[in-house]
Amino acid sequence: MLSDEKRNRFLQLLKESTKDEWVWMSGYLSALTQASIGGSSVDVSLTPPVSIDSGTDGNLKTQPIQCSVVYGTETGNSKKLGTELVKKLKELGVSAKLKSTDTYKAKDLKEEEYLFVVVSTHGDGEPPQAAKPFLQILSESKDSLSKVKFAVLGLGDTSYPLFCQTGEDVDSMLAKLGAERIQPLGKCDVDFEAVSKPWMSELISKLNAHSKTATTQSAKPTQTPAAKPASGGKVVYEGSVVTNIVLNDIGASKSTRHIEIKASGTVDYLPGDSAGFLAYNRDEEVNRILSLLKTDRESRVTYKGETWMAYDLFRKKVSVRFLPDRVIQKYASLVGKEIPSGKLDLDVLLTLHPSEKQLELQTLVDVLEPIVPRYYSIASSPSAHGEEEVHITVAEVEIETFTGLKTGFCSGFLAELKEGDVVPFFIQRNNSFRLPSPDTDIIMIGPGTGVAPFRSFLFEREQNSGNGRNWLFFGERNFVSDFYYQTELLELMDTGVLHRLNAAFSRDTKQKVYVQDRMGENATELLKWIENGAVIYLCGSKDPMSKDVDRKLIEILSERTFDTGKDASDYLKELEEAGRYIKDVY
C-alpha cells in the first residue's frame, strides 16, 4: 500500500496527465513489475519529452524542453495555428511559449532552444506588416544560432507566384545563421489544415525523438548568483538594462514603462516579490542646491562616518526630495525661523526660507537623511523569463513644484536608463503574496501598474501546469493607449492560461468605469469561483482603489448563498485571515 503522501502525489499526477500519458505509465509500470517477478534486471527507458542534466549533487534531474512558437500574421490564421501548436506541445509535457513577430526581441534569438515559426505571406511575396521586425532581426543578427533547433510553417496562396515566400525567407535565414533545421519547411495553401495538421504531428514526433538523445548531455555548470552582500545585509545585484520601452500608445495622457534588467547570474526571487532601487538625485537639482548654499562641488563633508565631496553626497547619498517635517523643523532650528509643517524639497526649502547668515555645509548635512529605496512589483517569472532577468512596470510621475516641473524621484531615474546601463537592485521578499497550488483558482485585481505581479503570476502558471483557473481584472484610462501587456494577455487567453479577462477604461465613456464596476457585472460568476475556493489578489493604489474594491466585494458577498452564518464584511475578513484575500497596495 502507498502512504497517504505518496497516494496523494500519485493521484495528483494522474489528474495532471493525458490519456496517452496514462497508457505510457501503465506500460512502464507493467515492465517494472514483470522484471521484479522474474527476478531479472531490465533497462526500461524513460521517454517523456525532457532533456536531462546533472544537478550539483551529481544526481540526474529532468528539465522540460523549452520551445518558442513565433507567429507572423495578417488575417489571424498564423496566430490560430501557432496557438494550436503551443497547446499540442503543452499536452506533450513541453514548456512552450507563444510569441508574436512584432514583439519578438533580438536578444532572445540566441537564447532559444527550439524555435518554431508560423508565418504567412501577404500579397506578392511580402511579409505581413507584423512580421517585418522579426525578419529584420534575422537579417541583422551576427550571432551564431548553432544551439538553436528550428522548424518553419509557411502560409500562402498558390494563385500567387511567390507562394509562401516569407516562410522560405525565414527558413533560409535561420539556416544561414547556423540553426539546425529539424523539419523541412511546411507550405500551406488556402486550405491550410491539409498541410498544417500532418506537419505538426510529424514535428511533435521528431521533438519526442530529439528528447531521447538528450540523456547523453554533459552536466550544466551551476549558475552563480550575480550579487554581492550589502552593508545593510541585503544582497545587491548588478544588472544591465536590456529593454526600456513605453507601454502607452500615441495620445496617452500618462507614461508607463516596461523595463527589463538582466544580471550575469541567478537572481533569487519568486513571483510576488519586489525589486528595490536606490535612485540618484538629478544633476540640475544638485547644482541648484550647491548654488543656493554657495558651496563648491568638491568641498569635503562627513556623513555617517564617511568623507564625501559635496556634489557626490547630494547626488548619491542624501535625500533632497519631499523632506519630512522632522527634517524641516531641524532646519528651522538651524536658521532660527518658524517654518510651517509640511513636506518640501531641499531646493525649495533653501529658496523660501534662506539662512540670514552663511550656513555651514556640515551643519546642514548633519540634519539630512539618507536616500531610501523605492520598490516595484516584479512583473517577470523566473520559470518563464529566466532566473537572470527581472522585469518591472514603472509609472512615470511629474510634479509641479515651486522651482518648476520635476519628474518622480525613482520613476524618473528608471525612465532615463538606456539599454546597456548598469543598475544595482535588490530583492524585497513578500512571502504573504504568493501563488497557491497550481490547482487552485485565482482572481487577480490589478488596475494600472498593479497588473505587474499578475503578469509574473500568469507566466509562472503557464510553466507550472495545473488545473487552477486564472481571472484578471485590469483597469486604466483609455483602451487604445493604456491597455498594458494587451498582446501578451490575449495570447495567454488563446493558449488557455488566462481563462477570463475583464478590463475597465475610465476615460472612454461619459460614465467612468472602474475595475470594481466590472466585478459587479460579473458578481454571479465571482461568487461561484469564491465558493469553489478561489484566492483573490489585489494590487495597486491603496486609496481610493483598494477601499473601493473592498466595498464592492462586501456588496457581492452579501448576495452569496454559501457560508451565510456571517455578514459579508466579516466573511471578507475571514477570507483575508485564511489567506484567500491577499493585498499588495501602496
Looking at residue 3, its pLDDT comes to 57
* pLDDT, the chain, mean: 86
184-227 pLDDT, tens digit each: 999 999 888 899 999 999 999 888 766 555 434 433 444 555 66
Burial pattern 73-91, b for ≥16 Cβ within 10 A else e, equals: bbeebbbbbbbbbbbbbbe
Q: What is the mean pLDDT of residues 490-516?
A: 93
CA angle 107, 92, 184 (to 5 degrees): 60
Domains and CATH numbers, the chain: 63-216 (3.40.50.360), 227-279+373-428 (2.40.30.10), 283-365 (1.20.990.10), 442-585 (3.40.50.80)
- Phi-psi category of residue 513: left, alpha or beta, with phi > 0 → left and psi -120 to 50 → alpha: beta
509-549 pLDDT, tens digit each: 989 999 999 999 999 999 999 999 999 999 999 989 999 99
Q: How many CA atoms are closer than 13 Å to the CA of 337, on its beta-carbon side?
A: 15
More confident residue, 264 or 569: 569
The count of other CB atoms within 10 Å of the CB of residue 270 is 18
* Peptide bond between residue 544 and the one before it cis (omega within 30 degrees of 0): yes
Q: Is the pLDDT of residue 92 over 90?
A: no
What confidence tier does 570 reach under pLDDT thresholds 50, 70, 90?
very high
What confidence tier does 98 reach under pLDDT thresholds 50, 70, 90?
confident
Give the cell for residue 137: 532581426
Q: Is the pLDDT of residue 146 over 80?
A: yes
CA distances from 481 to 246, 331, 563 (A): 11, 45, 42
Q: Is the pLDDT of residue 492 over 80?
A: yes
Burial pattern 402-415, b for ≥16 Cβ within 10 A else e, equals: eeeebbbbbbbbbb
Looking at residue 11, its pLDDT comes to 63
Mode of pairing for the β-strands spanning 274-277 and 374-377: antiparallel
What confidence tier does 31 reach under pLDDT thresholds 50, 70, 90?
very low
Q: Is the pLDDT of residue 30 over 60?
A: no
| Cα–Cα distance for residue pair 553/575, rounded to 1 Å | 11
Q: What is the mean pLDDT of residues 562-576?
A: 94
Percent of the chain with pLDDT over 70: 85
Percent of the chain with pLDDT over 90: 65
Looking at residue 380, its pLDDT comes to 97
DSSP 8-class letter at 323: B
Q: Is the pLDDT of residue 95 over 70?
A: yes
Question: Which H or E element spans position 423?
Answer: strand 422-428
- Residue indicated by cell numbers 465571482: 526
